[in-house]
Structure 1
Amino acid sequence: MSGHAHDLAADARLAGELVRAAGQFALRMRAEGAAAGGLGSEQKTSVSDIVTAADHAAERMIVERLARERPGDGILAEEGSRATGTSGRTWVIDPVDGTYNFHSGLPWWCSALALVDADDVLLGAVHHPHDDTLFLGGPDLPSTRDGAPLGRVPDLPLAEVCATTYLHYPRATPDIATAFARVAGHAATVRMLGSGSMDAMAIAQGQLGVSFQHTVADWDRLPGAAIIRGAGGEASRIEAAGVVWSVAGSPTAVAEVRDLLADR
């Protein structure tokens, strides 16, 4: 085993421990908050964009352990933790992805992170507390669910798969809405489930076919993209309608989505 492979395997083990601990911690906080009459939340940009005490506490848990175990690495986390490392690598952290679902008592949320270097994403880790399920994978790290290999993402056309997305209609320009409609109109069906990383896990398992969404933050995009790629899928970005779209899933469907967004 090469040094690089050994290091990546060690990073994957650490990543799995981090997201599992954060996800279980957030789940306990939700249960305790519900018993006490509420978690407490703050609105960020809209009623559907909120942050809870669990987001902050789970993020602190991850960041504090990384500071001990990977002190040379950088940190980029959704709730504000930032650190510039010396290694050229950065941990991108979403302590609770799908916070509206989490706060509302819906099960479609997770704890997620990715490790990136200057060139690419190295790995992604996603823990789904509702099922106590751990996903790991990356471009050079075959994707697994609870340690068992995932099959390859089915390579199907857009017309034969369910597309998953999110569009905040009040902030969508006419050009964005038109590009969105071009893609949605060619998919077999469309779902908006509320957690980008969980949507990506469904794609990696062959339950959904492709995701497309514009203006996606790195912490919402990279963990899932890494695991989809580790399962033989594709993930890419394209500028269209004045914004950058992130597209991931079945290679054939990804290519079709890109063409439709670009109106080719």
Structure 2
Amino acid sequence: MPDSLEEGTIVGMTEQIDFLQLRDFAVSTAKRAAELITSRRAELVAGDGIAAHTQTKSSNVDPVTEVDTAAEDFIATTIRTARPGDGIFGEEGSNVDSTSGVTWIVDPIDGTVNFLYGVPDFAVSIGAEYQGRLVAGAVVNVARGRTYAAAAGQGATVTGPDEKPHLLRCGQTSDPALALVATGFGYGSQRRAAQAQLLTKLLLEVRDIRRIGAAALDLCRVAEGTVDAYFEHGINAWDFAAGAIIAREAGAVVHHPGFDKGSAQGELTWAAGADLAPAFEKLLAAHGATGALRG
């Protein structure tokens, strides 16, 4: 456990971890990966199309493209070169144990289906975990040119194409009936059926539901207040890591199942502004949503 938390650092017996440095490294790496993704996507579209360079993973609706793999390879190489003691936990298998205590949790393209179809909501997501807690992260909405970033104790920002950072604060809604809620769906038919049943209940008790297609961006939208809350069962650590620290630093309450739980366990991740969180959690519990959804 850390000995103290001051000015964006953890000070231990023999080392100091600078959260701002981790955040800036995540931002730089994610933005460079976004440039690679943009370039490679244009090449594929101009050639024989993205579909020709796409395979499936857990089901026939769970795609992975050659660009996902290339982006993760780039991110992993960048980390190994600049920070050789750090660990890597990547969606596409770029896993390295940490000797420094820092592990980078990487989703090279969060929202691959959006990427495949040209929907402009897919992101590079890079989060930093240290001694069991999220301490920094960056999420780049590739198509929209928006970079979300945070470091523990230092707040969260969004930077657009103008390169001017703007402080993020989540919404102040306290009533679930007035809340715009984001969610997502799994890839297995059994879980999708359970999620659909849950959604029909919640839809009657909130302002409306949004399905954006990228968990990292859902969490960033909680941070910026363009949605009031987000919930989803069965996402992985790379889906939520960077977005979770960004939402928390913007004032949200965030609950996730931890870094060692995968989508197969079907556990719940949710986030909401601090004013809304108590009532939103009660609403989820009232409909049995706080438990796992298998399948």
> Alignment partner of 2:205: what SS?
coil
Q: CA deviation at 1:186?
A: 1.6
| 2:80 aligned residue | 67
Change (3 A) 1:183 1:117: farther
C-alpha distance in structure 2 between counterparts of 1:64 and 1:204, whole Å = 30
Amino acid at match of 1:37: D
C-alpha distance in structure 1 between counterparts of 2:189 and 2:219, whole Å = 25
Residue 87, structure 1, aligned to residue 110, structure 2: no
Summarize the alignment of residues 184-263 of structure 1 with structure 2, pairs less than 5 Å apart: 184-237=203-256, 243-263=266-286
Structure 1: gaps of 5 or more residues: none
Instruction: State whether residues 7 and 154 of structure 2, in contact with CA within 8 Å, keep that contact through their aligned partners in structure 1.
Output: no
C-alpha distance in structure 2 between counterparts of 1:69 and 1:98, whole Å = 27
Change (3 A) 1:187 1:119: same
Q: Percent identity?
A: 27
Q: CA deviation at 1:179?
A: 4.1
> Alignment partner of 1:255: what SS?
helix
Amino acid at match of 1:9: L
Instruction: State whether residues 158 and 168 of structure 2, in contact with CA within 8 Å, keep that contact through their aligned partners in structure 1.
Output: no
Change (3 A) 1:263 1:237: farther
C-alpha distance in structure 2 between counterparts of 1:232 and 1:64, whole Å = 33
C-alpha distance in structure 2 between counterparts of 1:101 and 1:193, whole Å = 9
Residue 163, structure 1, aligned to residue 160, structure 2: no
Normalised by the length of structure 1, the TM-score is 0.90
- Over the aligned positions, Cα root-mean-square deviation in angstroms equals 2.4
C-alpha distance in structure 1 between counterparts of 2:197 and 2:45, whole Å = 41
Q: CA deviation at 1:180?
A: 4.2
Instruction: State whether residues 212 and 218 of structure 2, in contact with CA within 8 Å, keep that contact through their aligned partners in structure 1.
Output: yes
C-alpha distance in structure 1 between counterparts of 2:226 and 2:80, whole Å = 36
Residue 96, structure 1, aligned to residue 101, structure 2: no
C-alpha distance in structure 2 between counterparts of 1:162 and 1:3, whole Å = 32
Q: CA deviation at 1:174?
A: 6.9
Q: What whole-Å deviation, never above 9, does each CA across 1:170-199 have from its counterpart, x for those lacking one?
A: 222876555444433322100111111122
Change (3 A) 1:253 1:46: farther
Aligned structure 1 segments of 4 or more residues deviating by more than 6 angstroms: none
C-alpha distance in structure 2 between counterparts of 1:194 and 1:173, whole Å = 14
Q: CA deviation at 1:237?
A: 3.4
| 2:167 aligned residue | 150
Structure 2: gaps of 5 or more residues: 1-5, 11-16, 258-264, 288-295
> Alignment partner of 1:223: what SS?
helix
Q: CA deviation at 1:3?
A: 8.1
